[in-house]
Amino acid sequence: MLLLTGATGTIGGALARLLAAHEVPFRALVRRDGITLPGAEVVLGDLDDPATLPAAFDGIDQLFLNTAGPYPAEEPVIAQQRAAIDAAAAAGVEHVVKISAVGTRTGGPMPFGTHAAIEAHLADSGFAATVLRPNTVMQNLVRGISGITPEGRFFEPFGGKIAHVDARDVADSAFAVLTGAAPRGGAHDLTGPAALTAAELTAALSTALGREIELVQPGLDELAPIMVERGMPESYVRHFVELAGLVTDGALAQVTTAVTDLTGNPPRSIEAFLAEHREQLLAPVKSYFQV
């Protein structure tokens, strides 16, 4: 039996739909009553309260580990995922698939340093693990992480190339490992088929939307006051600016074959994603990054 954390999120939700479609039994850990997921045995449990976890982990042999991003603070996320790993170890879980991030490194800004701390705890746990490190997911373009203003302005704070990956390709990769279609073990950097500059992404957006989109890209020295003004918690601003500097230096530019290696299928392109999500992209969203 598989246990999914984050089953209502972007990647976890796509994985839950895959498991249900292929009639693979799975259990979904949720914090609130009243949540239903097709094909899932839904169980209550709270990663902030480890005492609630043993019942949820009873009879589980594999864990899919993913939680909400470490914003504005990383300590709760580290504690939550460590609690899940400890509960898995206590329950005799055989294998963990953890969602991490391309660029993970000890001492790095969120989310790089966050995932490095969790990966270290996972490595110390003593059971088999597969780490999937996706690049920035394309779905961020349509869920308010980034956004296009009604006037057609697109704010992109990262100056380097980014090999965006579709969250569904991340879910496909996790599905392949969890069901035995791909081998367990190792750390895999999951990317799309191409790394794009902000200008190239803006051009793709213009083509997909049939209107001219204007790129707005402030310098690194301008980011902190902009983010504070737009409501980003000051505790995270330093991390964000450091992250932007690393991306500008190429931290997210590498293109890999990992999605194809794990799933047997090529990753979805940004052009295909934008065409599929055109109506959502046309709808204005609230974002820290709108101008």
pLDDT tens digits for range 30-89: 999 999 999 999 999 999 999 999 999 999 999 999 998 877 778 999 999 999 999 999
Whole-number percent of the chain with pLDDT over 90: 81
> Residue 158 phi/psi, 5° resolution?
-100, 125
DSSP assignment of the chain equals -EEESSTTSHHHHHHHHHHHHTT--EEEEESSTT---TTEEEEE-BTTBGGGHHHHHTT--EEEE------S-SHHHHHHHHHHHHHHHHHT--EEEEE--TT--TTPSTTHHHHHHHHHHHHHH-SEEEEEEE-SBGGGGTTTSS-B-TT-EEE----S-B--B-HHHHHHHHHHHHTTSS---SEEEE--S--B-HHHHHHHHHHHHTSPPEEE---HHHHHHHHHHTT--HHHHHHHHHHHHHHHTTTT----SHHHHHHSSPPPPHHHHHHHTHHHHHS----TT--
The pair of three-digit structure tokens given for residue 280, joined into one six-digit string? 């959502």
Query: What pLDDT does residue 148 have?
Result: 83
**All structural domains of the chain:** 2-133+166-189+257-263 (3.40.50.720)
Cα–Cα distance for residue pair 84/23, rounded to 1 Å: 25
pTM of the model as a whole: 0.95
Query: What pLDDT does residue 146 have?
Result: 61
pLDDT tens digits for range 174-189: 999 999 999 999 999 9
Query: What pLDDT does residue 285 have?
Result: 56
Cα–Cα distance for residue pair 16/12, rounded to 1 Å: 6
Cα–Cα distance for residue pair 146/68, rounded to 1 Å: 17
Longest C-alpha distance within the chain, in Å? 55
In 3D, which of 247, 267, 287 has the Cα closest to residue 112? 247
